[in-house]
Amino acid sequence: MSCFLLPKNFCSDLEQLMAKFWWGQHGDRRKIHWMRWGKLGLPKSEGGLGFISLYAFNLAMLAKQGWRLLHNPDSLISKLLKARYFPHSSLLDAVPGSKPSFVWSSILSAMKVITRGSRWRVGNGSDIKVWGDRWLPRPTSFEVVTPPVVGLEELKVNSLICEAGQPQWIMPLLTSLFLPLDVDEILRVPLSLRSPPDCLIWHFDRKGKFSVKSAYRVALTLSTDPDPPSSSISGMAQLWKWVWNAKLPEKIKLCTWRGIHDILPTCCALSKRRVSLPHLGCCVCGGAKESTLHILRNCLFAQAVWHLLPGLLSSDRHADLPLPDWLLVSWSELNSNALALSMVVMWALWSNRNDVTWRSTQRQPHDLVQFVLQYMEEFRCANDQPTGSHASLGASCWSWPHSGTIKINFDGAFRTGSTGGGGGVGVLGLSLGTKMGDFWQPLRSVCYLLVLRNMLSAWRLMRLYGFGGRWGGGGRRSGLRLTCSIISRMFSLPR
């Protein structure tokens, strides 16, 4: 892709295959493509998923070759191409000529990317044309807007500079040739005492250096039409920032992304795409038409869930707003944890709708809330970085068991970035005067499962040593105290 321009149709065919894979199409089974590929290719900050456009990326790679030819005129390939295709002009003005090679025509097709992304840094001004070249510090166009003067179309910038002593612009000439707004822009161009050669710089880099990444952005604007904004509120960038920066699994972010775009497969959305359905009513509450907004906010079930979680999103406030605007207004009042929790709730509401539709199983609102809180706790436990050593934490909390009692410690841990983990159970009984035994078992699971498994081992040990099986509270000989906050909260046990 860095030497040859792939045919546009070939790139489109490849992107079609990628789109089919993304939307889950296998073989000849037809699947709905809920969003066109061009929109999916937008950056995440603009509502897309950042999928690459092969044609634009191909142009950016070729532009890199063109940029190298421009800045390395003494290289062998530069000399060869210049001698063959543009002996009397510069690369920027070169034309295909007769019988151009595939490589040459490919590089030439990417020159429009270089033209759009570059501008001249004025040195002595001898290489820059006043009209037609991009040399003014005016964003986007960088060109003179005054119409060219007849007979002076090929005028170079050095004709406007007085080099006697300190270089400076010739004011009488500027005012006679240009409109006042161009004169102001020209006067903003700094002139160097050393009068170095003019230099073509990349506008999208502070140091003027070319990068394929920024060239891809330029090529994308050249090859696609800009989409209109998807919301009436000019804060969609902030909304997408909240969604993608949330510390949550990607499936939950994607669910929110689809909800905001209104491309969840609800009855209304399916009906718009001409899928025949027996009815459009909500299968959860049996009420109004099932739309994204209904499932996530207006449904009686959703309202009951939001009421059980005060301080998150309110289904009563701003109830007349569409979903993106409702989220934008509501999320602006939440901190990052509450915002993430509200995204999990929306994902759980959508999952509940799918359970009702496809499995005929209906949860109660408080069950769903309990599931969401447990899910968040579990996710945080698995992802939070440890803040201190295990030993130091244990030293501050752990105490010797009372006489006549037995203490069983258990815990689990895993290594970030791998599936490996370990854990174990330690038993200590003062009644025997020594440690009764301990053992450690390497396990391969996540932290939560490790703790649970070790808890069961502790339970078996208690039975083995003849102690009662009641958790906490009871007689001194039957007390098994938990130090794990997750398990304690799950089973409402004392710690």
CB of 215 or CB of 284, closer to Zn ion: 284
State in angstroms the smallest separation of the CB of 291 from Zn ion: 10
CB of 284 or CB of 296, closer to Zn ion: 284
Q: Which of residues 60-99 bind Zn ion (CB under 5 A)?
A: none
Nearest residue to 3 via CA among 80, 94, 90, 110: 110
| Among 130, 177, 268, 282, contact with Zn ion (rule: CB under 5 A) | 282
CB of 94 or CB of 282, closer to Zn ion: 282
| Among 293, 299, 349, 427, contact with Zn ion (rule: CB under 5 A) | 299
CB of 299 or CB of 480, closer to Zn ion: 299
281-289, 342-350, 373-381, 409-417 -> range binding Zn ion (CB under 5 A): 281-289
Contacts with 412 (C-beta within 8 Å, 6 or more apart), sequence order: 421, 422, 423, 443, 445, 447, 448, 449, 450, 451, 453, 454
- 3 state SS of 377: helix
7-15, 18-26, 182-190, 284-292 -> range binding Zn ion (CB under 5 A): 284-292
CA 415 to chain centre: 26
What counts of helices (H) and strands (E) characterise the chain? 20, 7
CB of 287 or CB of 475, closer to Zn ion: 287
Contacts with 84 (C-beta within 8 Å, 6 or more apart), sequence order: 104
CB of 214 or CB of 298, closer to Zn ion: 298
Amino acid (1-letter code) at residue 490: M
Q: Is 114 in the site for Zn ion (CB under 5 A)?
A: no
State in angstroms the smallest separation of the CB of 353 from Zn ion: 8
CB of 355 or CB of 378, closer to Zn ion: 355
State in angstroms the smallest separation of the CB of 357 from Zn ion: 12
Nearest residue to 22 via CA among 257, 349, 294: 257
Q: Which two tokens stand for residue 416?
A: 């970030």
Burial of 125-148, coded b for 16+ CB within 10 Å and e otherwise, reads: bebbbbeebbbbebeeebbbeeee
Q: Is 284 in the site for Zn ion (CB under 5 A)?
A: yes
- 3 state SS of 162: strand
Q: Is 482 in the site for Zn ion (CB under 5 A)?
A: no
251-259, 295-303, 347-355, 431-439 -> range binding Zn ion (CB under 5 A): 295-303
CB of 156 or CB of 289, closer to Zn ion: 289
Q: Distances in Å between the alpha carbon of 130 and those of 57, 136, 152?
A: 32, 10, 9
Binding mask 234-273 for Zn ion (x = CB under 5 A): ----------------------------------------
CB of 299 or CB of 452, closer to Zn ion: 299
| Among 285, 406, 427, 455, contact with Zn ion (rule: CB under 5 A) | 285
CB 168 within 8 A of CB 186: no
Q: Which two tokens stand for residue 285?
A: 């509450």
223-231, 298-306, 349-357, 437-445 -> range binding Zn ion (CB under 5 A): 298-306
State in angstroms the smallest separation of the CB of 264 from Zn ion: 14
Burial of 262-297, coded b for 16+ CB within 10 Å and e otherwise, reads: bbbbbbbbbeeeeeeeeeeebbbbeeeebbbbbbbb
State in angstroms the smallest separation of the CB of 19 from Zn ion: 32
Question: Rounded to the nearest 10 degrees, what angle do helices 54-71 and 76-85 cross at?
Answer: 100
Three-state DSSP string of 390-406: HHHHHHHHCCCCCCCCE
Q: Which residues form the interface with Zn ion (CB under 5 A)?
A: 282, 284-285, 287, 299
